[in-house]
Amino acid sequence: MRLDRLLAQATGLSRKQAGIEIRKQRVTLDGEVVRDPGLRVPPDAAVRWRDEPVALAGPVYLMLNKPTGLVCARRDPIHATVLDLLPPDLAARVHIVGRLDRDTTGLLLLTDDGDWSHAVTSPRRGCAKAYVAELAEPLVAEAEACFAEGIVLRGEKRPTRPARLERLDDRRARVILHEGRYHQVRRMFAALGNRVLRLHRESVGGVVLDPELAPGRWRALSNEEIARLADCRARAEGEV
């Protein structure tokens, strides 16, 4: 990690302020004064600022209520991204754990812990994800059975893994998946001759989007939520 980024994240300084402090020779690396804000800091290096030890806080784990219109990417030439909702230094630190398309809203996870991220997203884990879909047409009578049996999506040969569809009303349904193919929920309904108008992710691995989080807002995950997601498995059918 660059020295100015480490100093900013560890102290609350802006990147610009951190650079000024470094150039004013107020930062040492393994006892030696350094003046290059772009210097790469080894993981085991001892950094001090104004003679006080500097260390990054522990890993970051966040939930964010994604609004529509934002893309899940670090940067995009056309659209704003979900990382634009975070303070710049925090946005530079974290990555997105499992993406949502631009028109899908709801629970999004972010972290700087690669092992934890892999535990949540690995296909072998089969982490359950729950969505609510609003549809253009009434659900067909056999919709539940089709989702439970698996559906061959357009352009693919292998059917989807068994999924649960819970009919909320004629044009609304909750879908629980244990995989994450490209635009999967939308494509599954398309295979049944329907179209998704709105799609909202409620939960991942049994961790539910905080109802107090307005669209575009975020908070840190609790220790229980972090542990639950780290141990994510395909849970009993019907668990959200």
Q: Which of 36, 84, 89, 101 is catalytic?
A: 101
Query: Could you give the dihedral angle defined by the CA atoms of residues 14, 60, 129 and 179, in that order, rounded to the nearest 10 degrees?
Result: 100
Whether 115 is a known active-site residue: answer no
Q: What is the DSSP string of the chain?
A: -BHHHHHHHHH---HHHHHHHHHTT-EEETTEE---TTPBPPTT--EEETTEEE---S--EEEEEEPTT-BSSS--SSS-BGGGGS-HHHHHH-EEES---TTEEEEEEEES-HHHHHHHH-TTT---EEEEEEESSPPPTTHHHHHHH----TT-SSPPPP-EEEEEETTEEEEEESS--TTHHHHHHHHTT--EEEEEEEEETTEEPPTT--TT-EEEPPHHHHHHHHT----STT--
Residues designated catalytic: 101
